[in-house]
A and B are shown apart, each in its own frame.
Chain A
C-alpha cells in the first residue's frame, strides 16, 4: 500500500493547471517554485486530510459503538461551521488560527452533546444512532443557514461545505499537519480505543480509564474535523466509508488497522482530488464532490448489504 501511495503522490505532483514536466525540474527554477509553492503543499494537504479524517472516523465509530457514524453524521462538522460563522460575523478581522480555535471549541461542544445523546439510544438499535446524528446535524445546519441567510453569507458558508483543495498553497494548509499529528497521537491510544469500543462496563472491568479515553477521543475527533473544515471544507464519507472497508478485511483491532485506515483514507482522497483536477481540466471539480459520489455508493451498499445478512 505504501508503494501505491507513493505512486499516487508522484502523479499528484505533476498534475495541475500549469504544465510541469519532471525533466524541467533540473533546469527550470520556475518549475521548482511551482513544485514547492503549489504541488507539494497540495499533495501533502490531501494526504494529511484523508489520513486524519479516516482515523477520526474510526475513533468515532468505536466510541459510539456504531459502524454508521462519522464526524459528518454526528453534528461535529455542523457545530464547527456554526463556530466559524460566529467568529466570522463577530470578529471578521481575527486571523485564521483564531478562527480555527473557535471552530474547534464549537465542534468539541457539539460532539460532546451528541455523545450524551447517543448514550440514551439503546445499542441494539444500531441505525438509530446515525439517524439521530443526521437529525442533530440537520438542526445545527439549519441554525447556521438561518444566520447565513440573514447576513448574506450563504455562499460564504457554501465554500466550507464542499471540501476542495484548489486554494491550497504553501502557507495555507500547515494547520493540517496538526490534524495529522493528532491522528498519529491517537495511534498510541489505539489499544485503549479498541477496548473502549467494547462498551463502558467491559472497559471498566478491564481496568480502562474509560472517561479519559472517551475525552481524548472526543477532543481528537473534534479538532481533526474543525481543522479540516477551516482549511479545506467538509469532506463527507471519508471517515465513514474508509474505516468500514478496512474493518471488513482486518477486523476491529485498532492497533493493527489504524495505519491501514489512515493510508487508505489518504490514498482514496488523493485519487479523488487527482480525478477532480483532470475531469474538467483546467477547471476543477471539488475532491469532496468526487469522493461524495463514491462514498454514497459504498454507504448504500453497506446499508442494503446489512439487511441481506439478516
Chain B
C-alpha cells in the first residue's frame, strides 16, 4: 500500500513540475514515433546503456541508472546516479522515490515503458534494425534538444562522422572481414543484417561470407566454417569478457589449427572489440566512437 501512495505522490509531483514548464513543449523522435514532452527535464532516469552513454556525453542531469551497466566508461555515472534496478527489470519503487521528470527506456527495458509511464513520462529510445548509425545519431540530436545541449550534440556528431570517414578510408581496399562473437568455447558469426552489421554497412567493409542470416544472437558455426570462409580480417567480440578476462578467453578459443590457417590469423589481422561498447552500450555515441577507434587501431596494426 505504502508504495502505491509514493507512486501517486511522485506522479503528482511530476505532473506539477511538468505543468511549470508547460510553456516550451519539446517534440522528440522516439522508437514509437514522435512524442511531445512538456519541457526540459531536470531529473532523468535512464534504463538503457546506449541512452545513458549518449546522455552522459551531453552532461545531462541523470538521477538514476540500472545498478549494472557493464561498461567501464560509464562507471563514473554509476557512482553518481542512484541505482534503479537492472537493465531488464526496473525497480519501480526506487524510480518513484527519485520523482523524475522523464524516464528513458530502450532495448532491454523497452517492454516496461507502459508500466513506467505510470510514474512519470516515459519514452522508448530503442535503437534497432536497419541504419544503426542513422538511428543512433538521431537519438543524439533528440537528446541534445531535450537537454538544451544542441551545440554539444552537434560537436559530438561532427567528431563521430569524421572518425567514421577515417575508419572507412582505413578499411577500404584491405579485404573482407568476418564478425565473430565468442562465448566460452563456442563461436557464432554475425552478418551485415545483425546487431553488429553496421561495421559492414557503415564502413563499406565487405563480408567474407555473404547472406549470413540477420539473427540477434548470430549463427552457431564450427571452426571449419571459419577456415573455409578464409576471411582477410577477423573482428572479434568476446561475450564472456564480463567476467574480467579481457580478450584472453576469445584468443584462447580461436587459437587452433583451423583458425590459424586463415589469412586473417596468419597476417595477424585480428581486431578485438570491447564487448561492453559494441554489445551492451552499442548505439551510445561514446561507445560507437570507442568501437571505431578500436577498428582504426586494429587496421593500422594488422598486416
Mark A residues whose CB is within 8 Å of B.
Answer: 16-19, 33-34, 37-38, 88-89, 92-93, 149, 151-153, 155-156, 159-160, 164, 166-167, 169-172, 277, 282-286
Contacts and interface: CB of A to CB of B under 8 A. Distances in A.
B220 A283 contact: yes
Q: Which range holds the interface residue count of chain B?
A: 20 to 34
Nearest to B248: A93
Contacts of A167: 185-187, 222-223, 253
Nearest to B70: A152
Nearest to A231: B185
A156 B221 contact: no
B248 to A, nearest CB: 8
Interface string B43-67: 0000000000000000000000000
B242 A34 contact: no
B220 A284 contact: yes
Given A37-B257, A38-B258, A160-B184, A153 B222 contact: no
A152 B213 CA distance: 26
A93 B68 CA distance: 23
Contacts of B244: 92
A151 B222 CA distance: 27
B184 A159 contact: yes
Contacts of B242: 151-153, 156
Contacts of A171: 256
Nearest to B253: A167
B257 A17 contact: no
Nearest to A170: B257
Given A159-B186, A160-B184, A166 B222 contact: yes
Contact of A156 (B184, B217, B256): B184
Nearest to B218: A283
B239 A164 contact: no
Nearest to A230: B185
Contact of B225 (A17, A153, A172): A17
B227 A18 contact: yes
Q: Shortest 4 CB-CB distances between A and B: which pairs?
A: A17-B225, A17-B224, A167-B185, A18-B228
Contacts of B243: 88-89, 92, 151, 153, 156
A286 B220 contact: yes
Contacts, number: 90
Interface in B153-187: 183-187
A160 B185 CA distance: 10
B245 interface: yes
B30 interface: no
6 contacts: A34-B224, A34-B227, A149-B88, A153-B242, A159-B185, A284-B220
A92 B224 CA distance: 28
B93 interface: no
B221 A152 contact: no
A3 to B, nearest CB: 27
B132 to A, nearest CB: 21
Contacts of A283: 213, 219-221, 225
A285 B220 CA distance: 8
B257 A33 contact: yes
A183 B61 CA distance: 63
Interface in B216-268: 217, 219-225, 227-228, 239-240, 242-245, 253, 256-258
B201 interface: no
A38 B224 contact: yes
A286 B225 CA distance: 15
Contact of A17 (B217, B221, B240): B221
Nearest to A158: B183
A42 to B, nearest CB: 8
Contacts of B149: none
Contacts of A285: 220
Contact of A92 (B68, B183, B213, B245): B245
B86 interface: yes
Most chain A beta-carbon neighbours within 10 Å: one of B184, B213, B224: B224
Most chain A beta-carbon neighbours within 10 Å: one of B220, B221, B242: B220
A164 B245 contact: no
Given A152-B70, A156-B239, A156-B240, A284 B86 contact: no
A93 B185 CA distance: 14
Contacts of B70: 152
B68 A169 contact: no
Contact of A37 (B184, B221, B240, B258): B258
A103 B219 CA distance: 28
A166 B224 CA distance: 9
Nearest to B212: A283
A166 B258 contact: no
A17 B228 contact: yes
Nearest to B87: A152
A88 B240 CA distance: 10
Interface string B197-219: 00000000000000001000101
A164 B223 CA distance: 13
Contacts of A172: 185, 256
A25 B258 CA distance: 17
A75 B242 CA distance: 27
Contacts of A156: 183-184, 239-240, 242-243
Nearest to B187: A167
Contact of A282 (B86, B221, B240, B258): B221
B86 A166 contact: no
